[in-house]
Every structure is written in C-alpha cells, then in structure tokens.
Structure 1
Amino acid sequence: MLATVTCAAEPAAAKAPIVHPDKRITFSLKAPEARSVAVAGGDGLGSGPFQMTKDANGIWSVTTPPAVPGFHYYWFVVDGLQVNDPTSDTFFGYGKPTGGLEVPEQGADYYAIKDVPHGEVREKTYFSKSTGAWRRALVYTPAEYDKNSKARYPVLYLQHGAGENETGWTRQGRAQFILDNLIAAGKARPMIVVMERGYATPATPDIRQENVQAAFSAFEKIVVDDLIPTIDASYRTLADRDHRAMAGLSMGGMQTFFIASHHLDKFAYLANLSGPIIRNADLSHFSEISMDGPFDTKTAYGGMFSDPAAFNKRVRLLWVGVGTAEPEMFRTSIGGAVKALKSAGVQLVYFESDGTAHEWQTWRRSLNDLAPRLFR
C-alpha cells in the first residue's frame, strides 16, 4: 500500500524546512505508514539524497550538512515515489511544480526587498501567429514607468533554463528586486524586462530528448515575429536594436546565442549565463552537440564571430558568465570559448560566480553584474 503523507494543522506535525545559522537544513515530513523517506534536491543541497529517520509520532526528519547559499529545489522520496513537501511553496522547475527553499547568503542584500521604489511584474497575454495559440509573457516595468507617460525604455529579453518557465526569473531569481535595487541606486538604467516561456509547444520538453535545432528555431520565430512586435506595440519601448538586449541562463543562454546569430539586426547586447557554448553547427540532438575541443571562432554560430572587428562594432556588449562550482561540461565549454574569443579579438565581459553551482545564486549574481552594463 502506498504510504500516506499528511499535513496536519499543528505546526509540530509537519514543519517547513528549518535553515540553521550554519546553513544546515532540517527537513521533516509526517508519513507514518512509509517504509523509507529521503530528501533530495538541487546541487547546492550537497551530495544527497539524505535518508530520514522516523520518530514515534510518524514524523521523518534529517538535518543535512551546510548548504550553498541561495535558492534550492527539493523533494521527498517516499517509498520510491517523488513527492513535494506539503508545507512548502512550489516553483516551476524540473518540468513541474517543485518545492523550494532559500538559504540566506551573509552580506548579500542585492536581491532583498528594500525600501526603494518598486517596479511591477505584469502579465501580457498575446496571440502567437507562429503557433496559432495564446501565450503569456511576464513583463517587468520600472518604478517610474507609470509616472511619466512620455518616457520610453530599453528592453531586456531574459530567458529561463530548461525545465523552468517564464516565472523562474521573478520567483526563483528575484530579478524584479535586483533591478529595483540597482535602478534606485543609480547603478542600472531603468529598463523593461520581458520573460517568456522558452518552448514553442504547450508541453515542457526535455532538451536532452529534443531536436534542439527545431525547438530553438520554433522559439526563435516566436521571439522575432510575435513577441518583440507585441512588446513594442504594448509598452513604451525604445524599439531599435541599440536599445534591445537578449540574455538567458543555461538553455536560455544557448537560445540567446542561437537567435542572435541570425538576428544581430535586432539585438545590440547579448549575455549568456551558464549556457553551454557549442563547437559545431549540428543541433539535431542534444547528445550530438559538441562542447569539447577547440572553439572555432570562424564557423561557430553561423560565423557570428568570424569578423571580430565587425562584431565588436555592431555588438555593444557580449557578456558571458559561469559559476566556479558548476559541472565541468559548463565550465569547460564556456571557459574554452571565452579564451578563443578573446584570442581572436572579440571584446567581451567574463564573469565568474565564486563557489556556486548550476543554480539560481549563480544567475542572481550574474544579473546583478550584467544589468548595470546594459544600455550604457
């Protein structure tokens, strides 16, 4: 019989995770009929899954070693079945609603809610002629947006990673607060930020099982033919390439370079946050994408970097970043490409997030470094 997981009204029966001052985390779950329970999650939680023990009241618990600061997805494995914590909010990650928690980083307040003017995150529903379906984008407008009806703003198109959706940058990444704080301090120019779902189909695909070329091409058509015209028609944008940027994390970084390589007439600012940088042009299947070996600046991305002088003149910012604790695939592909691009004379900004993995703290830090460099 499947174990019953209950969430009792009394706080003692089922507590949300407790993050201790030393960053150890105590998880608990009431599942009296379960035979085994463990907790697992993102890279920053450590080397789990962590096996839990049951007390006389049927409450399973475990305290993990100190976690890396930042946002972490997590879930319980109850008798082999993955379930969310009934005491936790869920966030869209791993292709489905998934539990999450925050481990504070000492001294890091750039993504905190502060007593500064706050922008708004709006929902923009629009019809995509490319797919024949309705879509939703989340749009951040700066605090001053509604106060001056004559002002127009540059636009950053900011994409999430694989298994996530358009809510990732505001719910997990806290992008709106990062922008609020930077703009209030005069460090970043007031801008509109557009966050769309990076898939052309209703289902969330597994990029490792997809024809990546077809998937990215379909999303490219949405961005260029549907999304940009919709945003320019609906908001007070500065609707030219010199005031338009595209950036993304992981899969979103791959999409940024893929789309930009065909549309440098649309974007003057490009940023890749932990997105694997490919060596070859074959995107038919993820497993066939080459991220090893030398990066050929002449042929990669349709020759986008083949004339460094022309690229530098046309692209006002090329920004690339990675966490130092990310898996080798990311560090190797990104680091090798950065070295080759710099050697060829391509101007770029390279950013490393010290000690963080392929998780949201890397990308929060990345956005905090990137945003002040845009539209200058």
Structure 2
Amino acid sequence: MMYDLKITVQRSLYPWLISLLIFLVPIQAFSQVPAGAISAPTNINQNDCPCIFPDGRVMFKLEAPEADHVQIDLVGKVYDMQKNEEGMWSVTTDPQEAGFHYYSLVMDGYKVADPASESFYGMGRMASGIDIPEEGIDFYSPKDVPHGEIRSRSYFSNTSETWRDINIYTPPGYDENPQISYPVLYIQHGGGEDERGWAVQGKLNMILDNLIAEGKAVPMIVAIPDGHVSKPGVEAQGYNDAAMAVFREELFENVIPLVEEHYRVKAGAEHRALAGLSMGGGQTFYTGLRNPDIFKGGLGIFSTGLFGGIGRAEGSEFDPEEIIPGILTQSQSFNDKLDILYISVGEQDQRIEATKKLIETFRENGLEVEFASFPGGHEWQVWRKSLHDFAQKIFR
C-alpha cells in the first residue's frame, strides 16, 4: 500500500512510523456494516466501512492499536476517533451532503490515505474519497445502455517541452461506425485535480452514455487534458494573463491539433465547445470568450472563483470588460458568435452571490447567458449536474 504523508518525516521516526503503518489495514474480520447503513461505493471492500446512514452521517472505522490519536478530516471539519480495548478506532460524523468528498485520516498529526477507501488525485495529491449517493439521482450510474470509452494517451507538448497525459471519451459506436464524425467538447478540471478528474470523480463517461442513450445529448467526443501547464522561462500561475496565455497555447497548439489529427472530428467552430470547473471555469472564461470564433459550439463555466475575486488585487471589483474587451459594450457580437454561454454554481458555494451579480450585469448589457444553480458547495455533485445540463444544450 502507499500512504500520502503531508510532511517530511525525520529519519529517527522511521521505525515508529513503519510499525504504525503496518496496522493501517482495512477492517475485514472485525468490521460489519451497521444496521440501516450501506457501505460507501468508494470503498475497496464493500463489506466494510466507511458506512453511510440514511441521514447522510458516515461511520469510519480503523484498526490501529499503536496509534495515540486518530482523526478524520472531512469537508473542512476534523472529527476525533475513539479507540476501544481491541485497538479499533471509530467515529460517526455529522450528516454530509450527497456527492463526492475528499478526506484524510490524521494519524498522530500525519495525514494519510484511508486504506479502506479508494484513492483519487484531488487536493493536489492522492487522497481518500467518499461518494455519498443522492436519493433519486442516477444520471451518472452505470445502466444497461451502449457504452463509450475513456481512452488514455500521452503526447509531447511543445509548450511545456514534456510528455503529458490526456483522456479522450469516444461515444458508443465510435469504432463500429468509421464513417461518422463527431463534435468535440474540451473540458477542464479544477485546481487540485488533473486529467483524471472528469474521467474518474466526474463520471463523465456514464453521464454522456446515459444522455446519448436517452436521446438527450448529441453523440460527441470529449477531450480531457491536464490544465496545469508550465512553459520554460515563463512565470505562469493562477489566473494571471501569463498563465492564461500558456494554457491557450497548450490548448490551441497541442491539444486541439492532437484530437483533430487522431480522432474523427467534425470540422468547423460550431462543432467545438469548451467547458471547465473552478480553475477550469476561469480558463474557459478567459480562453473561450477571448476566442469565441473558435468555440462557437458553446462555453460552459462551472463554479469559477474568478467572479468572486480570485486573481484580483484585494478589494478590487471583478471587471469583465477589462478581461474580455467588448463583453459588455459589444455584447451582441458575442451572442452572434456563441451558440450558448452557460454559467453554473453550487447554491452553498461561497461564489454564488458574486456569480449571480455578474449574471445580472451581463444580462443588463445584452449578453445572453444561461444560468443554473444546484444544491451543494464547491464539489463534484454540482459539477456532475452542470455537465449533465450543459451537455444537453450543445451541438444542437
């Protein structure tokens, strides 16, 4: 097993730490799912905890008899676990919102992955994750429908001068129907994730498979690149112009040419769309609205912190006209070039008020925007719903 340690461990602590980690094993012989609860779908062993109660509370268990202090760090709250005489630690959390949440075990101050859970690349590192089902929501569940594929490949980027990874979703029937070409959605992850985010946590393939089977979405190819791009000699971080210029170069000179050369893509900007969540939403705002003639098929901006002041000087107002000249003063030109401009945010996300305010400004100045909000904070359940909604509106 691999464990993600948050801090550097002094050499003198190695023997102690190794002996401690030996006991970080999933509870099998000792753990049973409590009555009325279910094993989390993100568990490695479906007969173990973490266990989810109907009201959203989660029980965590861990066998670590040599540990002195064990906690669960989940959705910004730390819970102290209690140890019994057999060295079994457990805790039951407050009710949690439905959706996907990263979490960590905290072992005597060290953050590690829970060996009972699958690990995911999020928060800028490998972390445990728990997916709490939402009653009545199954649009991202596997169903008995034709399935597409997530295809992983590597390519050499002339921008970063490194080999990079990308995931490509091809719709059902792609290989069986070589005469058919498809529109392409380019979609970006958030700041703590990479090209695995939409393919794994986002369940993009299941969302598209189900929509296509229901006739609610046009069969499409989806390109999921890594949005973290560096360029030798360029200081490019966050939302500054340099970072956005490097991202644009990677997308326009490496990613799009790769997709259009190796996959059956329909020609023309009307068959090309761009979307992203959080950091990827900011990249979509910058790159998509500065190049609306490239992505006529549509732009999807999910939960970006850009509108709430991220990347701005403290106390300064977000000025869309400064970033996108003409967005307010020549809004009709954007309406003519884009089939859809879609913006969404979680209803409990701290970005929602700033986002709503910007939507009002856009509409007051004649810019056509479709806005949606969904229950939840800054997390994957909101972004899954955003993609589910946006995918039904593009390439029509």
- Normalising by the residue count of structure 1, what TM-score does the alignment of the two structures yield? 0.90
SS at match of 2:357: helix
Q: How far is 1:279 from its partner?
A: 8.3
Cα 1:86–1:310 change in 2 (3 A) is same
Cα 1:124–1:86 change in 2 (3 A) is same
In structure 2, stretches of 5+ residues that fail to align are 1-12, 32-47
Matched, 1:343 2:343: no
Matched, 1:334 2:358: no
SS at match of 1:299: helix
Please tell me the root mean square deviation across aligned C-alpha atoms, in Å: 2.1
Where do residues 227-246 of structure 1 align in structure 2 (5 Å cutoff)? 227-246=255-274
User: 1: CA distance between counterparts of 2:136 and 2:252?
Assistant: 40
Partner residue of 2:293?
265
Cα 1:101–1:226 change in 2 (3 A) is same
SS at match of 1:49: strand
Q: How far is 1:115 from its partner?
A: 0.3
User: 2: CA distance between counterparts of 1:87 and 1:308?
Assistant: 52
Greater shift in the superposed pair: 100-109 or 215-224: 215-224
Matched, 1:42 2:75: yes
Partner residue of 1:361?
381
Partner residue of 2:61?
28
Partner residue of 1:371?
391
Cα 1:96–1:357 change in 2 (3 A) is same
SS at match of 1:373: coil
User: 2: CA distance between counterparts of 1:254 and 1:107?
Assistant: 31
Matched, 1:112 2:135: no
SS at match of 1:302: coil
Where do residues 266-305 of structure 1 align in structure 2 (5 Å cutoff)? 266-268=294-296, 269-278=298-307, 288-289=312-313, 293=317, 296-305=319-328
- The letter of the residue matching 2:168 is V
* Deviations 1:219-259, CA, capped at 9 Å, x for gaps: 21100111001100000001321110000000000000111
Where do residues 8-87 of structure 1 align in structure 2 (5 Å cutoff)? 8=25, 11-13=28-30, 15-42=48-75, 48-87=77-116
Q: How far is 1:306 from its partner?
A: 3.1
Matched, 1:223 2:251: yes
* Deviations 1:340-373, CA, capped at 9 Å, x for gaps: 001111111100102x010000001111111000
SS at match of 2:292: coil
Partner residue of 1:149?
178
Q: How far is 1:213 from its partner?
A: 2.9
Matched, 1:188 2:212: no
SS at match of 1:346: coil
Matched, 1:321 2:344: yes
User: 2: CA distance between counterparts of 1:279 and 1:334?
Assistant: 7
User: 1: CA distance between counterparts of 2:301 and 2:241?
Assistant: 18
Partner residue of 1:307?
330
Cα 1:373–1:9 change in 2 (3 A) is closer
* Deviations 1:125-155, CA, capped at 9 Å, x for gaps: 2111122211111000000211211111000
Cα 1:323–1:91 change in 2 (3 A) is same
- The letter of the residue matching 1:220 is R
Q: How far is 1:305 from its partner?
A: 4.2
Q: How far is 1:290 from its partner?
A: 6.4
SS at match of 2:282: helix
Q: How far is 1:297 from its partner?
A: 5.0
Greater shift in the superposed pair: 158-167 or 3-12: 3-12
* Deviations 1:14-46, CA, capped at 9 Å, x for gaps: 743111222211011222222211101236xxx
User: How many percent of aligned residue pairs carry the same amino acid?
Assistant: 39
Cα 1:24–1:231 change in 2 (3 A) is same
Instruction: Decide whether the 8 Å contact of 1:279 with 1:296 is kept in 2.
Output: no
SS at match of 2:388: helix
SS at match of 1:247: strand
Cα 1:41–1:133 change in 2 (3 A) is same
- Normalising by the residue count of structure 2, what TM-score does the alignment of the two structures yield? 0.85
User: 2: CA distance between counterparts of 1:291 and 1:333?
Assistant: 13
SS at match of 2:256: helix
Partner residue of 1:283?
none
User: 1: CA distance between counterparts of 2:277 and 2:193?
Assistant: 11
In structure 1, stretches of 5+ residues that fail to align are 281-285
User: 2: CA distance between counterparts of 1:198 and 1:41?
Assistant: 26
Aligned residues: 358
User: 1: CA distance between counterparts of 2:226 and 2:26?
Assistant: 36
- The letter of the residue matching 1:216 is M
Q: How far is 1:287 from its partner?
A: 5.3
Cα 1:137–1:8 change in 2 (3 A) is closer
Instruction: Decide whether the 8 Å contact of 1:279 with 1:291 is kept in 2.
Output: no
